[in-house]
Amino acid sequence: MIAATVGSAVGLGTIWRFPAMTQANGGAAFLLIYVVCAFGLGVPLMLSEFALGRSTRSDAVGAFQKLAHGKLWWLVGAGAVLVSYIIMMYYMVVGGWTLEYLVESVTGNLYSGQHTPAHFTELMHNYVMTDWMPVIFTWIFIAMNIFVLLGGVQKGIERMANVMMPLLFVLLAIFCTVTLTMPGAGAGVEFFLHPDFSKITAEVVISALGQALFSLSLGMGILITYGAYYPERTPLTRTSVTVVSMTLVVALLTGLIIFPAVASTGLIDQGLSGTTLVFVTLPQVFAVLPCPQLWSILFFILLTVAALTSTVSISEVSIRLLQERTHCSRRTAVLWVLCPIFAFAAVCSLSFGALSGIKFCGMIIFDALDTLSNNYILPIVALGTCIYAGWFAPAELLRRQLTNNGTLRGRATALILFVIRWLAPPAIVAILVANII
Ligand code: PHE
């Protein structure tokens, strides 16, 4: 289950969004604040979700219903289910792209033309924005999720995580060795690890906080749901520190892959924008290495694995809810949750092409769903969760969960409770306010 939780956290948010955010926010200074946020706020927030899940052994909505019977706190859980479902709709599409790039790397099409930025941009346009190919790959990706989820939590999710997470670490280590030895890699390392404190602004802090929430899978009901599967004897505090540390290791390794590589190839000056980083910049990097296809295949396997362990976790939120409510079989729940996603994800994918005319507040459907979920609903759910856990949950709940009913010493409990009560809420309100204005 711990491997599965790390798998959930380590997703496209950590491997792809993180380097782009680091670049946009001035490098090492951002990294530093991200690390502080991940440990300082991420661990306590993760613990409140674990505690709610494990003490009730229910789903994201049921956890609040059981603890706050007759009150409206269940709406926080409902928000978590809603946001997780919305994220599924568009995240599956990105999973489809990674799969498509993997296939294009295997066939060699990705490297058959000139290796210029213009060419890779055009290819990305063709792969991602044409009407049917990306939809088909998205569907294949959804089918892969269904396959794993039908296996159940232990035989499906846990077994997959136990194989894939070590694979992911091995691949990251191989890449790191390659990129760190590229000529001129030092400038990238310097940018990533040598902080320039003058670059720290309120905006940088708030972005780092938002990134910490997203990359640790907080505020989506995932950790409440996974927490419900944790054995009674699992030490929660240690587990959350492990999960956060492993996620940070992946983020660090990713940075040590991307920044030296782009520095060495001179691409850093182009700026690493979110979407193009993985699909335009990296193929250019692979093109200068011997055997571009091999690196490309390995990298897109890595990315597909990372995406899959995250989408599986986010699907589990609704699956568990449905199973608890209707007592239906696992199979029925999996199919009811994921089959509609075939249609919703197709709409998201087509919003880059055929449906690009449909706009909400000037954004295509894909971007609108991303903004709605990450900028608004997710922080609201995270805020609701920590206010509930800190101030309204039964007084002994957190203490009992963190000490496994008094069998562990739980030295950090008071500190964690302090953070959940006093520091986390204003920090999350700051993210919300910054997103609204
Ligand atoms: N931490 C995950 C990531 O970095 C967040 C996430 C989980 C997103 C599950 C979607 C699905 O990608």
**pLDDT 10s digits, 362-417:** 999 999 999 999 889 999 999 999 999 999 998 789 889 989 888 888 888 899 99
**380 alpha carbon – ligand 1 mean position (Å):** 17
Query: Would you say the CB of residue 303 lies under 6 angstroms from ligand 1?
Result: no
Span 222-232, mean pLDDT? 95
311 within ligand 1 shell (Cβ under 6 A) = yes
CB-based contacts of 296, cutoff 8 Å, min separation 6: 101, 105, 110, 111, 283, 286
Residue pLDDT, tens place only, 67-82: 998 899 999 999 999 9
Structure tokens that stand for 188 in this block: 């990238």
Question: Residue 269 — pLDDT band, cuts 50, 70, 90?
Answer: low
What is the rounded distance in angstroms from the CA atom of residue 271 to the CA atom of residue 194? 18
Identify residue 102 by its one-letter amino acid code. Answer: L
Is the per-residue pLDDT at 220 higher than 90? yes
Q: Is the CB of 18 under 6 A from ligand 1?
A: no
Sorted by sequence, the CB contacts under 8 Å of residue 412 that are 6+ apart come out as: 237, 402
- Give the Cα separation of 40 and 269 in Å (integer): 33
Q: What is the mean pLDDT of the segment spanning 214-243?
A: 94
Please report the pLDDT score of residue 272 as a whole number: 60
| CA of residue 181 to ligand 1 center, whole Å | 30
Confidence (pLDDT) at 142: 98
**Ligand 1: residue whose CA is nearest its atom 9:** 310
Ligand 1 centroid, distance to 105 Cα (angstroms): 24
pLDDT in tens, 348-372: 999 998 898 999 999 999 999 999 9
14 C-beta closer than 6 A to ligand 1: yes
State which ligand 1 atom lies nearest to the alpha carbon of 307: 12
Q: How confident is the model at residue 322 (pLDDT cuts 50, 70, 90)?
A: very high
Ligand 1 center to 214 CA (angstroms): 7
CB 182 within 8 A of CB 260: yes
- Does the pLDDT value for residue 137 go beyond 90? yes
Of 76, 70, 10, 23, the closest CA to residue 49 belongs to: 76
Which residues, other chains included, contact 95 with Cβ-Cβ below 8 Å and sequence gap of 6+? 138, 141, 304, 307, 308, 311
C-alpha torsion sign, points 354, 358, 362, 366: negative
Instruction: Give the position, in ligand 1's atom list, of the atom nearest the Cα of 313.
Output: 9
Could you tell me the two tokens for 159? Answer: 């077994």
- Tokens found for residue 341: 């996603």
| Residue 198 pLDDT > 70 | yes
Q: Which of 107-111, 124-128, 284-288 has the highest mean pLDDT?
A: 107-111
Which residue has the least CA distance to atom 5 on ligand 1? 217
Take residue 111 and report the two structure tokens written for it. Answer: 């490297």
Query: Residue 326 is encoded by which pair of tokens?
Result: 């209707």
Sign of torsion, CA 295 301 304 309? negative
Contact 225 CB / ligand 1 (< 6 Å): no
